[in-house]
Copies of this chain bind each other. A is one copy, B any other.
Amino acid sequence: MIAIHPLVGIGEIRPGDDLSAILTAALAASDLLPVRDDDVLVVTQKIVSKAEGRSVDLADVAPDAEAERIAAITRKDPRLVALVLAEASAVLRAVPNVLITRNRHGHVMANSGIDRSNIGPGDTDRALLLPLDPDSSADALRDAVGCPVVISDSFGRPWRYGVTGVAIGASGLPSLVDRRGELDRDGRRLEVTQIGLADMIATAAALATGEGAESVPAVLIRGAAWPRGSSPAAALVRPLDEDLFQ
């Protein structure tokens, strides 16, 4: 049995908060200590970003000509677009109401993952950027908490409606499980040979974190099995020129 435990008692996170200490206290309050070898702590991007001070006051943003141009096409706030472009390594699609980018770490998503909802009371003109280096953030949390860590976000996908979970940071487990060369129980080579484990963990956690009013910002998944090894969420990023679907 695999158990997905929502962590209780995590309040509003502010810049500079010691997230490791807060999560350790939440694990204790949720009766989940000591952590075990088959635990993964899944932390939503939002609280990592908040603790790392990645909230930006839009009043401080001066959009340049390119941001104004993309904002006119997408009908978005030029200040938000300026932030999206600063976080992006490429713009994949810009049409009315849609701005899809590849961010500096290679993840493809809407608006470079920048979120304007749920940032904090009264902050109507603030935007929250993704953590600067989510794999390193996961490493630091793992060192402090003592079990593998995934930093999760919710992305849309091509061809299907609705967001699902993705891992933007991971530490202590193989984000990508590579089974090339293994055989199935009838001795045939496996056709499915690579498994997006960290994305699957992030998605399973999202069943408990939810979105909006009843939001839970971290969960512990206990009892999942995975092969030995460790690879960061960066291992999940497929280079654009290798994409099978385009």
Residues A197 and B3 in contact in the complex (CB < 8 Å), given A120-B186, A186-B123, A213-B185: no
- The CA of A236 and the CA of B123, in the complex, are separated in Å by 33
Partner of A240, one of B159, B200, B213: B159
Contact count band on A: 35 or more
A199 at the interface (CB under 8 A from B): yes
Smallest beta-carbon distance A104→chain B, Å: 15
Contact A159 B203 (CB under 8 A): no
* Chain B neighbourhood of A16, CB < 8 A: none
A145 at the interface (CB under 8 A from B): no
A163 at the interface (CB under 8 A from B): yes
Smallest beta-carbon distance A97→chain B, Å: 9
Nearest-CB residue, chain B, relative to A237: B160
B-contact 0/1 string along A179-203, CB 8 Å cutoff: 1001111101111101111011101
Residues in chain A within 8 A of chain B (CB atoms): 1-6, 92-93, 98, 100, 102, 107-108, 110, 115-124, 154, 156-166, 176-177, 179, 182-186, 188-192, 194-197, 199-201, 203-204, 206-208, 210-213, 215, 221, 224-225, 235-238, 240, 243-246
Q: List 27 A-B contacts (CB under 8 A).
A: A1-B6, A2-B208, A3-B3, A3-B4, A102-B159, A117-B186, A117-B189, A117-B191, A117-B192, A118-B184, A120-B186, A122-B186, A156-B244, A156-B245, A157-B245, A160-B166, A160-B236, A160-B237, A161-B237, A164-B164, A164-B195, A179-B212, A183-B212, A183-B213, A192-B211, A207-B221, A210-B225
